A and B are shown apart, each in its own frame.
Chain A
Amino acid sequence: MNALKPFLSKPWLWSWLAALATFIVTILFTGGASAFGLSQATLTFAAFSVLVGLGQMLVITLGPGNIDLSVPATITLSGTLALKFMDTQDTLILPGLAIAIGIGLCIGLANYGLIKLLRIPPIIATLSMSFLVQSMAIWSNRGLRIKPPEALAAFATGTTLGIPNIALVGLVVSLAVWWLLERSIYGRWISAIGQKLAAARMAGIPVDGTRCLTYILCAILAAFCGYLLASFSGGAALNMGAEYLLMSIAVVVIGGSAVAGGNSNVPGIWGASLFMFLVVSMLNTYGFGAGIRLILTGLIIIAVIVAASRPAGAR
């Protein structure tokens, strides 16, 4: 039992247990026939949640009040403009990616600009920014559905060694963010800022620079997600980002990161993203109606959060 103790105290454990349990229950119902297909779909869709969830996690680590509500609008605008720019030509795939990342950079900068210069709380600043961004997306989209370049669409829907490419991209980005959070100076800085802003400033941490970089990283990850999502689903749509607002926050919370800031983890984002997709598939498999499905989703999420928060509370 003692050997298990450090493992049991990991905050991300519960999201993984929940994901595993949901997976098994779903497979049992279908008699194992759908195991491969379900894994493929789960990995793909979870990877999109992971990309936005990682960015939101960094922002939430900054401490009470820090949140980025402009994530869905950023996804939509970057998907729309990148696809419009590439105009189905394979040669423009990489410049298109640069456009998407550039959009993320600008939105992140603008977000922190509002927060810092106008002294607006992040929740209001990023919400108003999301209206601006969404309006730009509507204006430039005009209801047209532009197709992605063929090679990019093939990559986004394809697999390598049986694993969806999107999931591999998500994994590489996760490793990079894990390094940032656990091994780099920047990770220590955001954790310090999340625990006590005044103490972080007096310890010599460049507080504004670090916070600004964090909002930029979050927006870039959302923009990158929009670029891949639009390519994966055969074109950008104006509502493509909508579900990722709650999703990005939910995976951070279920993944065991501290809502009050200062303490986050990357594995939990994966566990929670897998879990969130699996819950919906499980309830679909069982053939529940939409209403029941939403109620059950809510109840299951509450149960996981309660279980995950217990070890910390018992201390």
Chain B
Amino acid sequence: MISESETCPVVSVRGVRVAFGAVTALDGVDLDIHPGETLGLVGHNGAGKSTIVNVINGGLTPHQGSLAYGAVDAAGGGVSAARAGGVRCVFQELSLCPNLTVAENIRLMHQGLTGVGWRREALSLIRAKLSEIFPGNRVDCAATVAELPITERQMVEIAINFLSIGTPPRLVILDEPTSSLDAALAEQLMAHVRRYVAGGGSVLLISHILGEILSTSTRIVVMKDGKVVANRPVSGFSGKSLVEAMGSVVKEKVRAGARDLSKAPLAVSLPAAAGAATAFAARRGEIVGLAGLGGHGQTDMLLSLFRSRSSSWLPKRPQEVAFVAGDRALNGTFPLWSILRNLSIGDLGALSRLSTIAHGEETALGGEWKSRMAIRTPDMGNPILSLSGGNQQKVLFARALATPAAIVLMDDPMRGVDIGTKQDVYGIIRAEAEAGRTFIWYSTEMDEICLCDRVYVFRDGVMVAELTGDDISEERVLAASFQGEAA
């Protein structure tokens, strides 16, 4: 390994300050990223992780401080300077153009791709890169991005950023890259990161999955409230010390033994689909997990369940179902609205008399959920887009939980939510389930699947297994997900 003093850092950030209105997002941050290292970046929602990423990739000009790529000072150089410096960024919010094909998206990202036959060249490059990173994948690269499931969109976006056309990538920023990937794909990506770094590249890895950070990074930086609070080689951290550095106390897992709910009344029951091994049922007060590899029909099932239980023509009070979106840019947030309006839209009927909305009650609802969910904002009247991704997700949770709906559908809703809040939300879900609500929960994270009372495993659009009680484990879920495939 090359010692830090001998090499020129790929990116060097000095004393950077960024403020959005009254909120200070970065408060004097110093950060160097050297060739041949994977820098793990962790911290709570709103700690400033996405902001420092935006400073490094040129999307944000810091209000104070300096920025250099290699030996080149790049203050105010913007995105083009970052690209010239070899910085590539895989965004947390997927950033491919949905109406263009994969090849056309590559052309947008890599201006160096020119001449007759660029589509064919792009296709062969991306196919090669995809099978290098994700061996055995079946992504249809000729499709437009909108036709790809979210998992494959994320895979394509990652592969595009590792492509070497024109300026080779020197630093690849991965902002929550595995939140839409299942465990097997995530492991392939981490293996690729280790290979890439061993070859002299560098990676900035942001993840809420501490296992990934600890197993893949060579150095870890912990951020809190816009400052760097710890910066040490990975050997100096354990899972526990890392969480402590972020400032949240590790809470006991809320897994409260298997509850016997077989006598509780049925809340939902669906007949078995063609090719499915089992029918679907959920009982009152039960937490039912939908597991399996990402994009194997779990979201479709939640959407159709929601549609069949709610009317598109007449308002229904009280609502039977509520939905927590995972793809919040697609079917979650209302971008023109304040945080408060995004929260209260779930059940305006409860806040109104003679269909006139009572503003006092709406504000009170906002105050209650702001503290219950610890939504990080000085004012619930601020625009929803002023919140970080994880905090927006908390608002969507609050929207669903504030309704009286007896069934809550959750579409992998914890993407980008920090560990402390996750534990709080798990607690709330438990308590609400005890009180009689039914939760149907699609998750790509095994920890969450293990919190469920019962789990259905999906493969190729249908349910192939049902696991209960102590059978719910990572091994069993994976075994069912891959059954019958010559992997």
Q: With an 8 A cutoff between CB atoms, is A117 at the interface?
A: no
Which A residues lie within 8 Å of B335 (CB)?
195-196
Known: A201-B307, A206-B315. 8 other contacts (CB 8 A): A184-B357, A195-B336, A195-B337, A198-B330, A199-B334, A203-B346, A204-B310, A206-B313
Contact assessment for B306 and A184 in the assembled complex, using a CB-CB cutoff below 8 Å: no
Which A residues lie within 8 Å of B208 (CB)?
none
Q: With an 8 A cutoff between CB atoms, is A103 at the interface?
A: no
- B316, B323, B330, B334: the one contacting A195 at CB < 8 Å is B334
Secondary structure class of chain A's binding surface, majority of residues: helix
Report A153-205 residues with CB < 8 Å from chain B CB.
179, 183-186, 188, 191-192, 195-196, 198-205
Contact assessment for A202 and B341 in the assembled complex, using a CB-CB cutoff below 8 Å: no
Contact assessment for A196 and B319 in the assembled complex, using a CB-CB cutoff below 8 Å: no
Q: With an 8 A cutoff between CB atoms, is A263 at the interface?
A: yes
Query: In the complex, how many angstroms separate the beta carbon of A179 from the nearest chain B beta carbon?
Result: 8
Contact assessment for A209 and B314 in the assembled complex, using a CB-CB cutoff below 8 Å: yes
Contact assessment for A202 and B325 in the assembled complex, using a CB-CB cutoff below 8 Å: yes
Query: In the complex, how many angstroms separate the beta carbon of B317 from the nearest chain A beta carbon?
Result: 10
A206-B346 contact in complex given A183-B356, A192-B334, A195-B336, C-beta closer than 8 Å = no
Query: In the complex, how many angstroms separate the beta carbon of A115 from the nearest chain B beta carbon?
Result: 14
Stretch at the interface among B268-276, B347-355, B464-472, B473-481: B347-355
Contact assessment for A196 and B345 in the assembled complex, using a CB-CB cutoff below 8 Å: no
Q: With an 8 A cutoff between CB atoms, is A251 at the interface?
A: no
Q: With an 8 A cutoff between CB atoms, is A150 at the interface?
A: no
Q: With an 8 A cutoff between CB atoms, is B322 at the interface?
A: yes
A212 to B315, CA, bound (A): 13
Query: In the complex, how many angstroms separate the beta carbon of A7 from the nearest chain B beta carbon?
Result: 17
Contact assessment for A203 and B336 in the assembled complex, using a CB-CB cutoff below 8 Å: no
Sample 12 A-B pairs with CB under 8 A, ordered by A number. Answer: A184-B352, A185-B349, A185-B352, A191-B334, A195-B334, A196-B335, A201-B312, A202-B303, A204-B316, A204-B319, A206-B314, A209-B311
Which chain A residue has the least Cβ–Cβ distance from B411? Answer: A202
Q: With an 8 A cutoff between CB atoms, is A108 at the interface?
A: no
Which chain B residue has the least Cβ–Cβ distance from A199? Answer: B331
Which chain A residue has the least Cβ–Cβ distance from B319? Answer: A204
Q: With an 8 A cutoff between CB atoms, is A268 at the interface?
A: no
Query: In the complex, how many angstroms separate the beta carbon of B471 from the nearest chain A beta carbon?
Result: 32
Q: With an 8 A cutoff between CB atoms, is A262 at the interface?
A: yes
Which B residues lie within 8 Å of A191 (CB)?
334, 336-337
A49 to B337, CA, bound (A): 29
Which A residues lie within 8 Å of B321 (CB)?
204
Contact assessment for B310 and A185 in the assembled complex, using a CB-CB cutoff below 8 Å: no
Which A residues lie within 8 Å of B315 (CB)?
206, 209
Q: With an 8 A cutoff between CB atoms, is B216 at the interface?
A: no
Q: With an 8 A cutoff between CB atoms, is B388 at the interface?
A: no
Contact assessment for A188 and B331 in the assembled complex, using a CB-CB cutoff below 8 Å: no
Which A residues lie within 8 Å of B303 (CB)?
202
Query: In the complex, how many angstroms separate the beta carbon of B363 from the nearest chain A beta carbon?
Result: 15
Contact assessment for A188 and B356 in the assembled complex, using a CB-CB cutoff below 8 Å: no
Contact assessment for A185 and B312 in the assembled complex, using a CB-CB cutoff below 8 Å: no
**Of A192, A200, A202, A209, which is in contact with the most chain B CB atoms at under 10 Å from its CB?**
A202
Query: In the complex, how many angstroms separate the beta carbon of B257 from the nearest chain A beta carbon?
Result: 33
Q: With an 8 A cutoff between CB atoms, is A90 at the interface?
A: no
**Of A200, A204, A212, which is in contact with the most chain B CB atoms at under 10 Å from its CB?**
A204
- A188, A199, A207: the one contacting B332 at CB < 8 Å is A199
Q: With an 8 A cutoff between CB atoms, is B399 at the interface?
A: yes
**Of A186, A192, A199, A201, which is in contact with the most chain B CB atoms at under 10 Å from its CB?**
A199
Contact assessment for B306 and A202 in the assembled complex, using a CB-CB cutoff below 8 Å: yes
Query: In the complex, how many angstroms separate the beta carbon of B483 from the nearest chain A beta carbon?
Result: 32
Q: With an 8 A cutoff between CB atoms, is B403 at the interface?
A: yes
A186 to B355, CA, bound (A): 8
Which B residues lie within 8 Å of A262 (CB)?
334, 336
Query: In the complex, how many angstroms separate the beta carbon of A55 from the nearest chain B beta carbon?
Result: 20
7 pairs of A and B residues whose beta carbons are closest in the complex: A209-B313, A198-B331, A208-B312, A195-B334, A202-B323, A185-B348, A202-B331
Q: With an 8 A cutoff between CB atoms, is B333 at the interface?
A: yes
Which chain A residue has the least Cβ–Cβ distance from B349? Answer: A185
Query: In the complex, how many angstroms separate the beta carbon of A156 from the nearest chain B beta carbon?
Result: 32
A204 to B396, CA, bound (A): 13
Which chain A residue has the least Cβ–Cβ distance from B307? Answer: A201
A191 to B337, CA, bound (A): 9
Query: In the complex, how many angstroms separate the beta carbon of B99 from the nearest chain A beta carbon?
Result: 14
Contact assessment for A183 and B310 in the assembled complex, using a CB-CB cutoff below 8 Å: no
Interface string of A198-226 (1 = CB under 8 A from B): 11111111111100100000000000000
- B306, B312, B337: the one contacting A209 at CB < 8 Å is B312
A259 to B399, CA, bound (A): 28
Query: In the complex, how many angstroms separate the beta carbon of A137 from the nearest chain B beta carbon?
Result: 31
Contact assessment for B357 and A188 in the assembled complex, using a CB-CB cutoff below 8 Å: yes
A208 to B403, CA, bound (A): 21
A208 to B314, CA, bound (A): 8
Which A residues lie within 8 Å of B357 (CB)?
183-185, 188
A306 to B311, CA, bound (A): 41
Which A residues lie within 8 Å of B356 (CB)?
179, 183-184
Query: In the complex, how many angstroms separate the beta carbon of A119 from the nearest chain B beta carbon?
Result: 15
A255 to B98, CA, bound (A): 33
Which A residues lie within 8 Å of B319 (CB)?
204
Query: In the complex, how many angstroms separate the beta carbon of B13 from the nearest chain A beta carbon?
Result: 27
Which A residues lie within 8 Å of B310 (CB)?
204
Which A residues lie within 8 Å of B333 (CB)?
196, 199
A195 to B333, CA, bound (A): 9
Contact assessment for A205 and B345 in the assembled complex, using a CB-CB cutoff below 8 Å: yes
Which A residues lie within 8 Å of B313 (CB)?
206, 208-209, 212
Query: In the complex, how many angstroms separate the beta carbon of B105 from the nearest chain A beta carbon?
Result: 22
Which chain A residue has the least Cβ–Cβ distance from B358? Answer: A183
